[in-house]
Chains A and B, each alone.
Chain A
C-alpha cells in the first residue's frame, strides 16, 4: 500500500510560553517492509535550531528549539510511505518454557535485542493482576506466538475502547482495572501482560489508515497517532506486531513511526513549553491510500 500521510499537532497557550526545546518522533521509520518515499517536518513558528538524528532504537528524531515566547505552536509531518507486509505468519516460535533459554543465548545489546523489553520500563511496571490475567488468557497456548494471539483476543474482549476514560498520563494498572482506555492503554496493558509471561514486548507508535477499504469497518485510533505492540517470538521468528485495540496483526493498515519499550521512548513530542497559563492540544491525522501503482522514480525524494 502507498499512503499519503499528514499529521499536525498544535498547542494553544493562554499565556505566551517561554522559549523551549523539543524532541520529535513523528517521521515514519524505514523498515524492510516499509519505505519512506518522502517526508517533511515543519514547525510554526519556524524553529531557530533543528537537527535530525536517530535514537537508540533506530527511530528518526528531530530536535528543535524555538528561541522566543510563543502563544501557538504547530508541528506537522507530511509524507508518502510504501507499506508492504507479507500476510501469512508461520508459527516458528518456541514453546513458552524454552523462551528464556533463547533470550539468554542472545548475547548482544543492539536495538533489536529482546533484553530491553523485559521487566520494568518508565511507563510499564510489573503487575501481579495483569500477569494473572495473562496466565489465564494463554492457558493451553502451545507456542509464544500462540500465547501472543490468545492474549490479543483476550485483551480486546476484556477492555473497552473509550476515549474519555484515560489521559496520556494514566498509569497502566489504573486503565486495566477500569477495563477501558485508548490504544496507549491497550498497548501498555498488553506489554505488561507479555512481560509478565516472560515474553519481551515493546511499544509501537504509528499511523492507521483513516478510511477502511470498502466493506470493512473503520478502525479505532485512526483520528490521532496510533499505538500497538510488538513481541519477540524467539530467535527464528523475531518480532511480531499485533494491534490489541483492533484485535489484529499489525499489517498494511499500520505505518510504523517508532519502536520503544513504552510510550516514554516514542512520545511524538517531548519537552513542553513553560507557560503560566493552561494550554490546549489538537491532533489531526490523515492517512490516505494513493491511487497509483508505483511512484515514478523522479518523484522520489529524500527526507
Chain B
C-alpha cells in the first residue's frame, strides 16, 4: 500500500553537528580533539538512526511510565508545596566499566574512612586530642549530637548506606563535592530513572552490556535482614512522612525491598524494646533504615520540638534495642568544614592517601587558611562552615548580606569555609530537539555488606539547566538522568528475587500499623458521612425547587435536621468540604497502601466539590451538583471495592463505612420515622437511604411507619438497613486479630453480637424513637471499643 506521507530522514550526522563542548571543560561524550568516546558509540548509533518523530515517541514512552508509576517530586514554594512531574533527561550518562571500577575503589575507601571518623567523633575523640581536627569544627556542627556520644552501635558499625555527589574536573579526574551520610536519598529515584530509560531504549538495552542495578539492592536487603535479632524482629524504613519531598522514594524502596514503611508515631518503646504498634499488638522491630534526619528522631533527647520522632529512641539505642541505619548523628560527616581535614584524616586512619579527593576546602578558623582564602577570593565559594549542603547549594543568604566577605572573614572566620570554585564536565542532553552539552554531577551509592562496601553500578545524575559548567550553576535546577556503566562483555543477570527452586509460596502482606488502620477506618467513616450529607442535601434542595410538592412543615423539619450537620442555606456547605478534606488527608497518610487510581478519584472528588462551592444556587442547581458528587463518590467506592486486597487494612476501611452507615441510618429513622414527623418524612427517609426502588418493589403500598422501619432497620437483605450493616461489621470483626481471646469473645465482638441479636428479634412496632436512639448510641460505642482494642 502506498503511503503518500513523506518519511523524514533519520538524524544521522545531524545528531552531533551542533554539539560543541566549551573549551577548558571535560566532556563525557567527546574527547578534547572532538572524537567520540568509544563507550558512547552504540548509544549514539541508536540515536542517529531515529527520526525526530521516532525519538519523540521513545521519550514519550519513558515519560508515560513515570507518570503511570506516579513518580513525582514535591516542590516547595512560598505558598505551599506542589507535586511536579519528574524531569527525566532521556539520554543516559555513559561511563566505562574500567573507569567505574577505579572510581568504586575510591568510593569504598572513602566510605570506610567516614566510618572511622564517625567512630572517633562518637567514641574516643582521639582525632581532636591529637590535633588532627580542631575541636570547634566538631563542637560547632549542629549535627554532632552530644546525647549520642559514647553509644556503641550493637552491630559494631555506624554507617551502612552512603551517597557521594561527584563531578569530573577539566583534567578528567573525579572528585567529591559532598558526602551524604545522614539519610541519603536518590537510590530509589535512580531505579525509576533506569526503568523509564529502559522503556526508551527497550530494543537497545538488552545488548548494550549495561550493568544491572538489582544486585546492589539485593545485597543491601540481605545485609539489613542479616542485622536482625536472631529469629525475630523486623526491618523497617522510617520516614518523616508524606510531607517530605522524597516520600515517594521511601514508599517505593519499601515496596521494592519488602520492608515495612513506618513513621515515628508507629513506634513504641517499652522497657528498652522497640516495637511497631500494630492492630495485632506490639511487633518487635530490630533494624531501622532511617530516612529521617537524626535530630528529629527523639524529642526527649534531641530536638524537643520534633513531632516526627519517637520519645525514648536514643535511650533505646543506648540500651542496644535496635540497629539504626545509619546511626543517629551521622550528619556530622556532611559538615562542609570537615572536607578540609579529610585528606589528613585518611593518612592517619587508613595509612594511605585519599584515592578520591574532595573539592578543595579551607576552614577559615585557622589564620593561615583564612589568609589564603582572602587572597584567592576570585576563585572561591565562601559559605557557612557548618552547613551540610552541597557546595553548589550556595547559602550566601545565610551570611550577613550587609557585610563584605573580607569583613566576615575577619569577624567570624571560624564560621566560614572557602571552597574552590570548581568546573564540572558536560554530558549530552536534548534541548529543543538538539543534543547540547550540559554540566552534570552524579550521585553514587555505597552500601555495607558482610563482604565490605559495595558500590551501586550506576547512579543518579543531575543535569544543569544551562551550558554554564561552573558548579554553582547547578543550583538553578535542571533535569535528572540514568547512569549506564557499560563494558565489553554482557553483565551478569540478576534480579531482586532468587530463582524459583522450591514450590511456590504465597506471601501475605506484612503487618498493619495501628496508625494506618486508624486512617483507613476514618477514611471509611468520612467518605460515608460525606455521602450521607450529600444525599440529605439533595433531598432538601429537590424539595426546595419550585416544582416540588413538599409542604412547609416538612421543609422546616428537613432544614432543622440538616442544620445539625451543616449550614442548610449554603448549597455546598463548608461542612461537606471539611468532610471530604478529612477523607483526603486520611487517604494521604496511607497512600502507600492505595492504588494511584483510587487516590486520584478522591482527589478529584474534593476538587469538584470545592469548585461547586460558591457557584451553585439553592434548589435544582444544588440538587444536580449533589447528584454529580454522588456519582464521583460511587467511582471511588467502586475502585476501592473492586481493587483493594481483602486483608486487614481493607477490613478497617469497610468497618468504618458500615459503622457510619448504621449510625446514620438509626439516627435518620429516629427523626424521620417518628410519629410526630410531618407528612412526607417517611419518603425522605427512604430516599436518603437510597431505597426508593426497593420500597416500591417490596411493598405495594405507600410508605408507612412499619414499611420504613422494616426496610431501613430490620431487613437483612437491604444493604441500606441497619441490621445489614451490623451483620457486615460482625463478619469483618470476626476476621480481625484477637476477635476471641482464650475462647472468649472480645468486648467488641460481644457488643456486636448483642446488637445484631437485638435487631434480629425486635418487632417493627417496638422500634420507637427511644429504642432507635439507644441503638444509635450502641453503634457509636462500637467505635470507641474498636479504637481501644486496635488503634490505641
Enumerate chain A interface residues (CB-CB to B < 8 A). Answer: 20-23, 49, 51, 55-57, 63, 65, 67, 103-104, 106-110, 113, 115-116, 118-120, 122, 264, 267, 270-271
Contact = CB atoms under 8 A, between A and B. Distances in A.
Interface string B112-135: 000000000000010011110011
Given A56-B149, A113-B135, A113-B139, A22 B128 contact: no
A271 B302 CA distance: 11
Given A20-B311, A21-B312, A55-B147, A106 B135 contact: yes
Contacts of B301: 23, 270
10 contacts: A21-B311, A56-B147, A63-B312, A63-B315, A65-B270, A103-B136, A109-B125, A109-B138, A264-B304, A271-B299
Contacts of B300: 21-23, 63, 270-271
Nearest to B303: A122
Contact of B415 (A49, A57, A67, A119): A119
A127 to B, nearest CB: 12
Closest 3 CB pairs of A and B: A115-B139, A56-B146, A115-B135
Interface string B584-620: 0000000000000000000000000000000000000
A116 B304 CA distance: 19
B185 to A, nearest CB: 26
Interface of B: 125, 128-131, 134-136, 138-140, 142, 146-147, 149-150, 269-271, 299-301, 303-304, 311-312, 315, 365, 415
A120 B135 contact: no
B436 to A, nearest CB: 43
Nearest to A119: B140
A109 B135 contact: yes
Contacts of B415: 119
A264 B305 CA distance: 10
Nearest to B400: A128
Contacts of B129: 107-108
B139 A270 contact: no
Contacts of A55: 146-147
* Most interface-central of A51, A103, A108, A109 (chain B CB within 10 A): A109
Given A56-B147, A115-B140, A270-B299, 20 more contacts: A21-B312, A22-B300, A23-B300, A56-B149, A57-B146, A65-B270, A104-B134, A106-B135, A108-B125, A108-B128, A108-B135, A109-B125, A109-B135, A115-B136, A115-B138, A118-B136, A122-B304, A267-B304, A271-B299, A271-B300
A55 B139 CA distance: 16
Nearest to B366: A104
Given A51-B315, A115-B140, A107 B299 contact: no
Contacts of A21: 269, 300, 311-312
Given A56-B147, A267-B304, A271-B299, A120 B139 contact: no
Nearest to B299: A271
B304 A107 contact: no
B487 to A, nearest CB: 47
A239 to B, nearest CB: 16
Contacts of A49: 270-271
Contacts of A110: 125
Contacts of B269: 21
A221 B130 CA distance: 44
A38 to B, nearest CB: 26
Nearest to A110: B125
A109 B127 CA distance: 10
A157 B139 CA distance: 33
B139 A109 contact: yes
Contacts of B146: 55-57, 116
Nearest to A264: B304
* Most interface-central of A51, A106, A119 (chain B CB within 10 A): A119
A174 to B, nearest CB: 17
B333 to A, nearest CB: 16
Contacts of A51: 315
A116 B312 contact: no
B327 to A, nearest CB: 16
Contacts of B311: 20-21, 271
A107 B129 CA distance: 5
